[in-house]
Amino acid sequence: MAANTTVLESRTYVEEVLSHLPIARTTDYTKGQIIYGRNTLAKNIHLLVAGKVEISQISEDGSEVLLEVIRPDEFFGESSIIDNRQRCERSRAIENSVLMTWSVSEVEGIAMKQPRMAMAFLRILAQRNAEFCRRIESFATDTIERRLARALIRFSERLGSREEDGAVAMMLLTHGMLGRYVGTSREIITHHMTRLRKQGYIRYSRKGIRLYSDALKAAFAIGTDASADTSS
């Protein structure tokens, strides 16, 4: 229930922001295409109209941490608000995607005149920040297997749809992608995913993942407060 409530709140905030923004041009991106990154810094605020986009942080040594998978009707690119040439955030289309885009100056100008829009946008960012704080806590206290369980549950709530047998069907999350999200190697993720599959919590193929999220929550004692979807 907590996850569903937060999803509804998030959609309300997005709708409030969109009610004040003008209809903007859309741009198509093919699967694997970089939207912004180290060589093309974020300069705009984007709304994902269709597809999926991953947001990652790239460190100086080239290692990468997956921050979020953006789904349709979510904003991203807020790092463009900060005038910092050293930021190393990267966004990449993981499916063929369609984006609607506004310049930072355009959004700032409207926000100055429309405080309700500014507050709604701040709430979106606050929700995203709260999720990052929960992930930091999990990195400090949870085992890799438990972090993986949390990640799978969260992605199932954000990206999945429940089927008649109680499983949640969602897009394929590669072991490399999960490793970048959990903070470990692809090989270790493969080891734990194999264990979860043998225990009956998950099924996966090249077409997607089917997760028995309720059973996984019970097995790892993960409550709805810990796995709630807090992103816009």
CATH classification at residue 124: 2.60.120.10
pLDDT of residue 86: 56
Contacts of 74 (CB under 8 A, 6+ apart): 10, 14, 47, 48, 231, 232
Domain boundary residue, one of 134, 153, 184? 134
Taking a C-beta distance cutoff of 8 angstroms, is the pair 198, 168 a contact? no
- Same domain? 17 vs 126: yes
The answer to whether residue 193 sits within a structural domain is: yes
- Same domain? 60 vs 159: no
CATH classification at residue 196: 1.10.10.10
Structural domain span for residue 11: 2-134
Domain boundary residue, one of 109, 134, 159? 134
Taking a C-beta distance cutoff of 8 angstroms, is the pair 229, 7 a contact? yes
Q: How far apart are the first and last CA of the chain?
A: 16
- Same domain? 117 vs 154: no
The answer to whether residue 232 sits within a structural domain is: no
pLDDT of residue 1: 45
- Same domain? 8 vs 120: yes
Q: Which residues of 101-125 are buried (b: 16+ CB within 10 A; e: fewer)?
A: bbebeebeebbeebeebbebbebbe
- Same domain? 166 vs 217: yes
Burial environment of residue 17 by CB neighbours within 10 A (0 to 12, 13 to 18, 19 or more)? buried
- Same domain? 15 vs 119: yes
pLDDT of residue 203: 96
Number of independent structural domains in the chain: 2
DSSP state letters, 152-199: HHHHHHHH-EE-TTS-EEE----HHHHHHHHTS-HHHHHHHHHHHHHT
The answer to whether residue 110 sits within a structural domain is: yes
Per-residue confidence in pLDDT tens, the chain, 232 aa: 455 556 667 889 999 999 999 999 999 999 999 999 877 878 899 999 999 999 999 887 878 999 999 999 999 999 888 765 556 899 999 999 999 999 999 999 999 999 999 999 999 999 999 999 999 999 999 999 999 999 999 999 999 999 999 999 999 999 999 999 999 999 999 999 999 999 999 999 988 999 999 999 999 999 744 334 433 3
- Same domain? 12 vs 113: yes
